Amino acid sequence: LRGRGIASQSTVTRGIMAHLRSEAELVAVIGHEIGHVTGRHSASQMSKQTLAMGGLMVGMAVEPELQRFGGLAQQGLGLLFLKFGRDDENEADELGLRYMTREEYDPRQMLEVFGVLDRVTRAAGGGGRMPDWLATHPSPENRLARIQGLIATTGATGTVVNRAGYVRRLDGMLQGDYRTLFL
């Protein structure tokens, strides 16, 4: 990405790239993914889940009466970990914003990404969405509002967008199931 020191590998698919409209939007996505890595979100989540489930098992072994509520307790822990996942997503968004503005990309382009995510989510789910408290990710609307606030309060600035260059690179890119494209 223009030799700007942004990591070149991330969890970005051809499918999402076709929905993005500029290099700055792609940088926002990659910055978010790098934020997960630098925030050690996967390792932290696994440690918390292991500790909580271990505690639950020990509690049920020590007090057999608790076994009646084991399933309910597991469901409660599952809901708690969804909240931890949303917190990780918010932190990754914030780190992604910081990374992209450090490289002088326009932070408002991250807001465009949330619009893309909202459209893709609605199209895939038929327009309906589960309540935020049951979701692993904050809603695109909540993420948009949060990042708008961060841009305003931090004074994040940048001007690089590179829409034409990005679209030119996408032209002719194969999209779809690669196994069927080449058979």
Which residues are annotated as catalytic?
33
Amino acid occupying residue 25: E
C-alpha pair distances (Å), 28 with each of 48, 62, 71, 163, 183? 28, 48, 39, 14, 34
d(CA 93, CA 32) in angstroms, rounded, equals 5
Write b or e for each residue in 140-153: b if 16 or more Cβ atoms lie within 10 A of its Cβ, otherwise e: bebbbebbeebbee
Paired strand residues for 160: 105
Give me the helix-helix angle, 70-102 and 41-62, nearest 10°. Answer: 170
| Token digits of residue 83 | 């909240």
Cα radius of gyration rounded to whole Å, the chain: 20
Distance CA 53, CA 62 (A): 14
